[in-house]
Structure 1
Amino acid sequence: MSEITRDTVAHLATLAHIEMSEEQLQAMAGELQQIVGAVAQVSEVAGDDVPATSHPLPLRNVMREDVVGEPLTAEEALSGAPDAEDGQFKVPAILEED
């Protein structure tokens, strides 16, 4: 495993056009080194017999079938609205008018 040094971080920051203080460079070097170490540990455990996954649990589609039903009438749709006017939902204005 290669070591992430302050100079490595400074070089990457220069390439990315990111200004970093000396303290930030030192801190980032330590943090990146820990991340590299964690990835190395996972790589040791994950052998050829362990399949690559994007999620630890199997995912499946849990949505129900799309079944056409009876649509709401305008009155039914507006029945729970806090305010309505002329068959439409009435909401506070969010744009200033000239």
Structure 2
Amino acid sequence: MSAVFDVRYTAQLARLHLSEEEIAKFQAQLTQVLAYVEKLEQVDVSGVEPTAHANAVFNVFRDDVARDWFTAEQALANAPRSANQLFVVPKVIE
């Protein structure tokens, strides 16, 4: 499968109308990306553990401690609309 075919096919899937100049430009860029991927495939990673992040990521959570909070009446005091101790908001999904 050639890069030209990939560019045209991908543009068609994305419903993009590309000029011949744009196809040529993106073809060159795609060829460079694929060449780089081929280089990466040559790297020996047999001893490397798979990871989702380059650096270790840890979640930092505060202690879950019960504390005083608003009452329902206080929370609803400035609401534009409320009913049955709930906020009334516009429908966004049909």
* Count of paired positions: 78
Query: 1:37 corresponds to which letter in structure 2?
Result: A
Q: Residues 1-98 of structure 1 correspond to what in structure 2 (within 5 A)?
A: 4-14=2-12, 16=13, 17-71=15-69, 74=74, 87-88=77-78
> Could you say what the CA RMSD is over the residues aligned between the two structures, in angstroms?
3.0
The TM-score, its normalising length taken from structure 2, stands at 0.59
Structure 1 residues 68 and 13: CA distance shift in structure 2, 3 A: same
Query: 2:34 corresponds to which letter in structure 1?
Result: V
The 2-side partners of 1:88 and 1:12 are apart by 51
The 1-side partners of 2:44 and 2:53 are apart by 14
Residues 3 and 30 in structure 2, CA contact (< 8 A), matched pair in contact too: no
